[in-house]
């Protein structure tokens, strides 16, 4: 393959919720970009057409269908690439996926992608981590406006969280690794808060529950369990900015091998109150308090977990909730992104007002479609 003049980016999970926004912003904001490659298990044709319109004749687009466990696809996708943004991962906080599958995708897949990137002389590697690699721990110890220097102890319950942390540390420890061409790779990880915005399947799930419940949203978290969600466009913007910093001779020495929390000016609120903020304009309401005492919720979740354990030899039963999910939804857990601002000039691109309006407008555009779909299923 002939070398290309300019930056060649590979975005894993590039057709996904976050990956789409990263790709679009890269095309819009990177003047030195000559080629964008997307690696994903599903390539959405309407998204490809959107990218083609954005890229015009200036930027070459390549699509690779597959995932990060496919060595042959990785070799083709990474050849000639200068920069990798690794957003792809298996996400599971309910227990739908096995420990082995989560490790296979999140850890071994990331390891294989990193090894292939090093073999192919990739200069920079950005990893999309998560605030969940920190916690909450099983005790539900709170954090208020934490930063990268906060030491937070305790065992992580979710295998998703554990595998994301393992992959993150693997990638960060390879910062400065010698490449075959004599240069050294720069690696970095971003830890966004809970990401919301257009096309969020988590927000969609909560919308559907609200429709089924007569336009009343389910309160799964106490009002005082404050978190600070972050808009998908701002998380994507952070990826573009840190990737830019990793090309600067001075800044790459600062960001290389580091992780950064990514937040914006979305107000601190509970997960349930975020749903209400985004959907109240559509006519949805939400109870002021949990439907039952928190202790009772834990007890019921424990019983359901025991039932799932006893049935495991015979059938796979996945409860709709579990004790750690209840802890996560009801623990005060907020962070700041001051370090990202200091080290690579991260300032949120979209205000809370804009983010809220864009998300609510998207929800309004699909509301009737969701109602019709759920009515068909019920009848």
Q: What is the pLDDT of residues 277-311, one digit of tens each?
A: 999 999 999 999 998 999 999 999 999 999 988 99
Given a cut of 90, is residue 23 above it in pLDDT?
Answer: yes
Mean pLDDT, rounded, for 189-209: 95
User: What average pLDDT does the segment 32-47 reach?
Assistant: 89
Whether the per-residue pLDDT at 182 is higher than 70: the answer is yes
- E-assigned strand segments in 20-87: 33-40, 60-65, 83-86
Distance CA 331, CA 195 (A): 17
Residue 237 has phi, psi (to 5 degrees) of -65, -40
List active site positions.
160
Residue 184, SS3 per DSSP: strand
pLDDT of amino acid 375: 81
The Cα 196–Cα 2 span in angstroms is: 40
**Amino acid 372: pLDDT:** 85
Answer yes or no: is pLDDT of 3 > 70: no
Instruction: Supply the pLDDT for residue 2.
Output: 44
pLDDT band at 119 (very low <50, low <70, confident <90, very high): very high
183 SS3 class: coil
Instruction: Give the pLDDT of residue 379.
Output: 62
pLDDT for 153 equals: 81
C-alpha span between 42 and 65 (Å, rounded): 6
Question: Bigger pLDDT: 4 or 147?
Answer: 147
Q: Report the distance separating Cα 337 and Cα 265, nearest Å.
A: 10
Helix (H/G/I), strand (E/B), else coil: 12: strand
Which residues lie across from 126 on neighbouring strands? 85, 188
> What's the confidence (pLDDT) of residue 4?
53
pLDDT at 99: 87
Give me the helices (H) in 33-130, please: 45-55, 71-78, 99-102, 109-119
pLDDT score for 365: 94
| DSSP labels, 170-225 | HHHHTTTPBPTTS-B-EEEEEEE-SEESTT-HHHHHHHHHHHHTTSB----S-TT-
Which domains are delineated in the chain?
Answer: 7-200+229-265+333-354 (3.40.50.720)
Residue 168 has a pLDDT of: 97
pLDDT in tens, 318-350: 888 889 999 999 999 999 999 999 999 999 999
Give me the count of residues in the chain. Answer: 379
User: Rounded CA gap, 38 and 156, in Å?
Assistant: 32
Residue 48 has pLDDT above 80, yes or no: yes
Provide the percentage of residues in the chain whose pLDDT is more than 70. Answer: 98
Amino acid 1: pLDDT: 45
Mean pLDDT across 208-219:
94
Instruction: Provide the token pair at 55.
Output: 């890229």
Reported as a single tens digit per residue, the pLDDT across 247-263 is 999 999 999 999 999 99
CB 336 within 8 A of CB 263: yes
Helix, strand, coil shares of the chain as percentages rounded to 5? Answer: 45, 15, 40
Q: Looking at residue 251, what is its pLDDT?
A: 93
362 pLDDT band (50/70/90 cuts)? very high
Mean of pLDDT values over 48-64: 87
Tokens 């002939």 correspond to 2
């Amino acid at each position: 393959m002939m070398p290309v003049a300019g930056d060649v980016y590979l975005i894993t999970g590039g057709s996904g919720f976050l990956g789409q926004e990263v790709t679009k912003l890269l095309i819009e904001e990177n003047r030195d970009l000559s080629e964008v490659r997307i690696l994903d298990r599903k390539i959405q044709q309407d998204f490809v057409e959107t990218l083609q319109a954005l890229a015009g004749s200036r930027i070459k687009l390549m699509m690779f269908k597959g995932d990060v466990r496919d060595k042959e696809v990785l070799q083709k996708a990474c050849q000639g690439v200068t920069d990798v943004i690794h957003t792809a991962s298996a996400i599971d906080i309910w227990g739908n996926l096995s420990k082995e599958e989560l490790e296979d995708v999140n850890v071994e897949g990331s390891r294989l992608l990193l090894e292939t990137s090093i073999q192919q002389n990739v200069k920079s590697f950005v990893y999309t981590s998560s605030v969940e690699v920190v916690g909450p721990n099983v005790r539900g110890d709170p954090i208020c406006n934490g930063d990268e220097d906060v030491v937070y102890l305790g065992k992580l319950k979710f295998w998703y969280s554990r595998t994301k942390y393992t992959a993150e540390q693997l990638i960060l420890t390879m910062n400065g690794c010698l490449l075959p061409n004599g240069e050294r790779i720069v690696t970095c990880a971003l830890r966004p808060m809970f990401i919301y915005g257009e096309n969020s399947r988590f927000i969609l799930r909560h919308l559907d529950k609200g429709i089924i419940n007569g336009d009343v949203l389910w309160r799964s978290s106490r009002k005082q369990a404050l978190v600070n969600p972050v808009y998908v466009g701002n998380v994507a913007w952070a990826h573009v900015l840190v990737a830019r910093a990793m090309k600067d001779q001075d800044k790459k020495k600062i960001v290389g091998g580091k992780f950064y929390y990514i937040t914006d000016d979305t107000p601190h609120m509970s997960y349930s109150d975020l749903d209400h903020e985004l959907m109240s304009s559509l006519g949805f309401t939400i109870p002021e308090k949990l439907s039952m005492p928190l202790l009772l919720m834990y007890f019921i979740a424990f019983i359901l977990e025991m039932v799932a354990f006893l049935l495991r030899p015979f059938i796979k039963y996945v409860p709709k909730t579990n004790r750690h999910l209840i802890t996560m939804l009801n623990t005060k857990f907020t962070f700041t992104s001051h370090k990202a601002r200091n080290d690579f000039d991260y300032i949120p691109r979209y205000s809370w007002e804009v983010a809220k309006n864009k998300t609510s407008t998207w929800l309004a555009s699909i509301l009737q479609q969701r109602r019709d779909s759920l009515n068909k299923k019920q009848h």
